[in-house]
Amino acid sequence: MNISQIRNFSIIAHIDHGKSTLADRLLEYTGALSAREMEEQVLDQMDLERERGITIKAQAVRLEYKAKDGNTYMLNLIDTPGHVDFTYEVSRSLAACEGALLVVDAAQGIEAQTLANVYLALEHNLEIVPIINKIDLPSADPEKVKQEIEEVIGLDAADAILVSAKTGFGIEDVLEAIVSKIPPPSSDAAKPLRALIFDSHFDPYKGVIAYVRVMDGKITPGMSIKMMATDKNFEVTEVGVFRPYLANVKELEPGQVGFVAASIKNVKDTRVGDTITEADRPATEPLPGYRKITSMVYCGLYPVDSADYDALRDALDKLQLNDASLTYEPETSIALGFGFRCGFLGLLHMDVIQERLEREYNLTLITTAPNVIYKVFKTDSEVLSIDNPSKLPASQEIDHIEEPYVKATVIVPNDYVGAVMELSQEKRGEFKDMKYLDVTRVMMTYHLPLSEIIYDYFDRLKSSTRGYASLDYALIGYQASELVKLDILLNGDPVDALSVIVHREKASYRGRLLAEKLKEIIPRQMFEIPIQAAIGNKVIARETVRAMRKDVLAKCYGGDITRKRKLLEKQKEGKRRMKQVGSVEVPQEAFMAILKMD
């Protein structure tokens, strides 16, 4: 196909503004799928994604559209993950495109994530086509949204397309705008191959399938290719396109989007953002923007039943085949036994992996509270990266500690400015900026420790603004903080898996609260259990779980068998997620208590 008839585009939107629904309508309109196939939203494929209603991994699809000018165009839609954990993946997907549809909910207006993604798209010089969706809603106010787009983003919104992805209104206008406004790729077939990897998945028969955008040159089966970041060579076995099922083609030409299979055994060899080139005639420079992904959030995963350790390792191995951003290494906890310390891109990523381990691999796990990586500068000038609070050296060995900070952008109706300020201050935020988007809405910028975001910043933000606030954040680097380790002792023994790193000023308060919370969570047992919170050798709080007075079955007088069985079953259910720590049975919630306190 002539390169002038190719259009590569993404859809950027805030969560729930209708990206997936619009994508489905575009597929339907261009006949990429039959009505039956349309029953399910196609671009969000994983069950979990559907349940949570969010797009987790980028996907791609190729559409054919016969435009009003009589020509047939090849439109490649590259879907982007709609969550702040995946900003790097979004940036790579955008780098594969020439344009983006900016979808804004006509009743909600611009939200924090809309802005973050628009800025990313503008950085990549994409042509942005504003679309105002959900105009069928009675509360839709397209004129106000147009004004916001112009004033806040600085884009001309006079021609913004009014759409209802729900009813299908305006879909043809969207397709015409893709063809007329988004430029075709400019590529050179004669140059050495350069193809950008923007996603990949693992196929048990074909190995890793890399999703690519060809920038220069072309890819054909049989060709020797080189991954520029890892310097590894492979022989291409298949190339193809997304219809949306994978369909083989003879070659991928310049400007095209498709997939490459090359008997690659490990997703780590197809890193998102890396450049594929020809092994025999390599490009001199890789495409810009490649970054090795690093985990932002860590937690310990332990099987409740220690016999499941091998099964957990196998499950992590399998999940990692498809997800190079998941990292894990064996770790031993005195309290929890053998398990793994796992690294994730963010909290959502962590939740998804945990849920998949439990659902798809039938594992019952104890998860420790998530934490960030701390940089510990020791007095002997050694610098440690600490991914587990229990590994923090003794305080006399520490010169100072640094923790990761983020720039957080919050958009709220102005009635809630006070609430956001109060919360952000409590969370050690440094106020940076405040800007009115229009007469009713305000954008506030803070620098905040990432660990506070992980604690409960977002939940509290939502509840203190009645769900109106939207949040986006990006890592800005490390800053020194007064941090200490808070230990918890059960029955006199420190429980390493309950240790947390907290700010010195908040340590006493959090320690007291944590002890109180644990008292509620840890069920009564046959003996009294003292709970202590300590910093170093100093105990700062103490609570006691009193001993159980009676056997739960005592009330049953041995008569009613069904009642007795019910009680025992209930007990068993409660036990499922308990772990024997020394002599004390500790439920899963205890390890997460630190997150749900204030």
Residue in 6, 9, 17, 392 binding ligand GTP, rule: CB under 6 A: 17
Report how far residue 510's alpha carbon sits from residue 307's, in angstroms, rounded to the nearest whole number: 35
Rounded to a whole number of angstroms, the minimum distance from the CB of residue 144 to ligand GTP is: 17
Closest CA to 5 of 61, 73, 53: 73
Task: Note whether 195 binds ligand GTP by CB under 6 A.
Answer: no
The DSSP line for 160-185 is PEE-BTTTTBTHHHHHHHHHHHSPPP
Establish if 80 lies at the interface with ligand GTP (CB under 6 A): no
Residues between 157 and 176 that touch ligand GTP (CB under 6 A): 164-166
For residue 188, what are its two tokens? 């050179």
Site size for ligand GTP (CB under 6 A): 20
Other CB atoms within a 10 A radius of the CB of residue 221 amount to: 17
Which residue in this structure is represented by tokens 């590569």?
8
Q: Does 40 bind ligand GTP (CB under 6 A)?
A: no
Q: Which of 20, 320, 388, 409 binds ligand GTP (CB under 6 A)?
A: 20
> Rounded to whole angstroms, how far apart are CA atoms 541 and 324?
42
Least distance in angstroms from the C-beta of 360 to ligand GTP: 21
Q: Which one, 166 or 462, has the nearer CB to ligand GTP?
A: 166
Find the part of the chain contacting ligand GTP (CB under 6 A) among 27-35, 131-139, 275-283, 442-450: 131-139
Measured distance CA(75)–CA(255) in Å, rounded: 11
Taking CB atoms, the residue at the shortest distance from ligand GTP is 82
Residue 71 main-chain phi, psi, to 5 deg: -90, 155
What the block records as the tokens of 428 is 């050690």
Between 105 and 403, CB nearer to ligand GTP = 105
Diameter of the chain measured on Cα atoms = 88
**134 binds ligand GTP per the rule CB under 6 A:** yes
Contact call for residue 419 and ligand GTP (CB under 6 A) = no
Q: Which of 10, 91, 93, 133 binds ligand GTP (CB under 6 A)?
A: 133
Which of 165, 448 has the CB closer to ligand GTP? 165
Report long-range pairs for 538-547 (Cβ below 8 Å, ≥24 apart): 539/489, 540/507, 540/508, 540/511, 540/512, 541/508, 541/511, 541/512, 541/514, 541/515, 541/516, 542/515, 543/515, 543/516, 543/518, 543/519, 544/519, 545/519
Q: How far is the CB of 128 from ligand GTP (least distance, A)?
A: 17
Q: Which candidate, 269, 274, 259, 276, places its Cα nearest to that of 216?
A: 276
Please report whether residue 470 would count as binding ligand GTP according to CB under 6 A: no
Is residue 18 marked as binding? yes
178 or 215: CB nearest ligand GTP: 178
Applying the rule CB under 6 A, the residues between 44 and 73 that interact with ligand GTP are: 44, 53-55
Binding-site annotation: residue ranges for GTP:
16-21, 133-136
Q: Interface with ligand GTP by CB under 6 A: which residues?
A: 13, 15-21, 44, 53-55, 82, 133-134, 136-137, 164-166
